[in-house]
Amino acid sequence: MLRLIRGLATAAKPKLQDIVIVGGGPAGLSLLLALKNTPSTSHLGCTLVEGLSLDGVRKFAQDPPENYTNRVVSLTPKSVDFMNNNLGSWDYIQTDRVKFYDNMIVYDSQDSEARIEFDTSVVPGAGAIAAMTEVLNIQGSLLEKIEALNEELEPEHRANIVEKARVVDIKQGEGDLDWPVVTLDNGESYQTRLLVGADGQNSPVRKYARIESRGWPYNRFGVVGTLKLQYEDWRSVAWQRFLTTGPLAILPLTGDNATFVWSSTPELADTLLKVDETIFPHLINAALVLEEVDLNYIYKALKANPNDQLMIEEIQWRLSRIPEEELEEKYPVPIAEIVSGSRARFPLKLLHADTYTAPRVALVGDAAHTVHPLAGQGLNMGQTDVAALVETIETGIARGQDIGSTLTLDYYTAKAWPSNHVLMGVCDKLHKIFSTDFTPIVMLRGFGFKLINMFGSIKDMMIKAVSGNP
Ligand SMILES: Cc1cc2nc3c(=O)[nH]c(=O)nc-3n(C[C@H](O)[C@H](O)[C@H](O)COP(=O)(O)OP(=O)(O)OC[C@H]3O[C@@H](n4cnc5c(N)ncnc54)[C@H](O)[C@@H]3O)c2cc1C
Ligand SMILES: *[C@@H]1O[C@H](CO)[C@@H](O)[C@H](O)[C@H]1NC(C)=O
Ligand SMILES: *[C@H]1O[C@@H](CO)[C@H](O)[C@@H](O)[C@@H]1NC(C)=O
């Protein structure tokens, strides 16, 4: 701390920039790239600051690991389009590690009749529902495209990335220039016309701007991991089973690979992370098929002894009572293995900033909104933010306005906030409806499922919403 203060005291005058972006996650890198790849904004002086090293991202881009990493997201066709046409980064995506799927099956643990099947292969012109991609693949493609553009741009227009440097202080400038001054822990400082927070859930930029955010923790964790299936599935289906503890999603990857997101209570999440790797695949197979009473019994036994090998037989016996044709037809391909060391958990919460802008400040991505992963929208919403913010900045420039002024920035909140709010409301309500075993709601949701399946047009509407298709 002392060293830091001395460092600050001797720091040189802050470097002036048009835009400083805090955060090198998917949202921050996308914004930096969008600014550099758009003719009317490419001349802006842009610096991105990331607290961590981006070496892992570069390594992934050059020499990807044999197995899928565990942070995988589903990209909507709209996001893929944006990466193709606006960012130009899709050319740098490792497409052999992207899995498009056109079918989604949602079913319920408490009502075997309740099942919705979204099959876009039967909706003319709908295309794929979404593409499963590793977050590292996305970040890697963005970084590679930024580096390629830097080769072409004049030195003074190049994107500047400062990594392994945390923002430790943000203050309003004094004297003639009231632009925010951002101080890094490496002693550098920047004074910027527009400061963008792409700095995640706990956004220091949001705090600096005193933008309130509202929401609540779900008291749930999302447990994730990489799976090997017993055999490659020729169908491209994203499966989601609603359990009383939260939804369990099995999402397809290329070959015999898959990934899962299991929303669970803190107690169950604890068990899921401790269960021995030889037992875990069986536990997932159980959770995809068996009834809640069976599951509660299994959870309890594994909580008491996470290495209780007898549970493997126990689960297999319970599964063997279900006819094989039914298993093949109605459920995912059984899981054979969990990739060693791939399990992790994330606390789930809902958080929405009251606004995305303040004088000389804008928020994008998780800094502006954090959602339940159940509809796979978080990263996609960040892409929509980036598109809206760049459009806002372009308009400001075209009108000869200051890009950091509220006059320019208000359009961004107006454009991005309401649709995100609607989407977040839908995800939140789905979570609430589906994580209960209160009988009237169970009946209602069974009814809802059947109803939705009957009415093709409602289904098409939902599928279009989930896939981000207009
Ligand atoms: C279990 C789970 C499943 C998910 N599934 C999906 C899905 O299927 N589809 C989807 O679209 N989304 C999904 N999401 C959400 C998605 O992962 C996030 O929305 C997305 O990664 C957020 O990107 P971001 O760039 O906004 O923020 P982040 O990735 O959080 O990046 C913020 C960056 O800011 C940096 N930073 C923070 N503070 C400072 C500081 N003081 N100085 C310097 N740097 C700083 C951090 O180091 C970090 O790199 C899921 C999330 C979870 C938890
Ligand atoms: C990849 O996963 C397989 C299956 O779990 C495992 O056998 C192999 O050792 C893993 N490879 C690496 C490099 O971790
Ligand atoms: C996972 O599936 C196997 C078998 O189908 C493939 O050989 C692998 O290439 C694939 N893994 C990745 C990372 O694509």
DSSP characters over 89-137? -GGGS-GGG-EEE-EEEEEETTEEEEEEEEEGGGSTT---SEEEEEHHH
Residue 40 and residue 152 in contact, taking contact as beta carbons nearer than 8 Å: no
Instruction: Give the CA distances from residue 24 to residues 111, 149, 161, in Å, rounded to whole numbers and listed in that order.
Output: 44, 17, 9
Ligand 1 binding pocket includes 73 (Cβ within 6 Å): yes
How confident is the prediction for the chain on average, in pLDDT?
89
CA of 273 to the centre of ligand 2 (A): 18
Its sign, for the CA torsion 434, 439, 442, 447, is: negative
3-state class (DSSP) for residue 205:
helix
Ligand 3 binding pocket includes 254 (Cβ within 6 Å): yes
Of 146, 143, 138, 147, the C-alpha closest to 79 is 138
Ligand 3 binding pocket includes 257 (Cβ within 6 Å): yes
Residue 275 and residue 286 in contact, taking contact as beta carbons nearer than 8 Å: no
3-state class (DSSP) for residue 263:
strand
The pLDDT score that the predictor gives to residue 128 is 83
3-state class (DSSP) for residue 361:
strand
Of 322, 355, 389, the C-alpha closest to 28 is 389
Q: In sequence order, which ranges of 132-234 are alpha helices (DSSP H)?
A: 135-152, 204-208
The pLDDT score that the predictor gives to residue 124 is 63
What structural domains does the chain harbor? 15-98+134-212+354-467 (3.50.50.60), 219-346 (3.30.9.10)
Spans in the chain with pLDDT lower than 70: 1-11, 122-126, 374-375, 426-470
The pTM of the whole model exceeds 0.75? yes
The pLDDT score that the predictor gives to residue 446 is 54
Sequence-distant contacts of 444-452: CB under 8 A, at least 24 apart:
445/108, 445/111, 445/114, 445/242, 446/108, 446/110, 446/111, 446/113, 446/114, 448/114, 449/106, 449/107, 449/108, 449/111, 449/113, 449/114, 449/115, 449/116, 450/113, 450/114, 452/116
Ligand 1 binding pocket includes 252 (Cβ within 6 Å): no
Ligand 3 binding pocket includes 95 (Cβ within 6 Å): no
Ligand sitting nearest the alpha carbon of 29: 1
CA distance 460 to 298: 38
The binding-site residues of ligand 2, defined as CB within 6 angstroms of any ligand atom, are 66-67, 228, 337, 339-340
CA of 257 to the centre of ligand 2 (A): 12
| 205: amino acid identity, one letter | V
CA of 429 to the centre of ligand 1 (A): 22
Ligand sitting nearest the alpha carbon of 231: 3
The pLDDT score that the predictor gives to residue 419 is 83
Q: Which of 59, 67, 230 to mutate to test the pocket of ligand 2 (most atoms within 8 A of CB)?
A: 67
Instruction: Give the CA distances from residue 253 to residues 9, 105, 133, 151, 278, in Å, rounded to whole numbers and listed in that order.
Output: 52, 16, 8, 34, 21
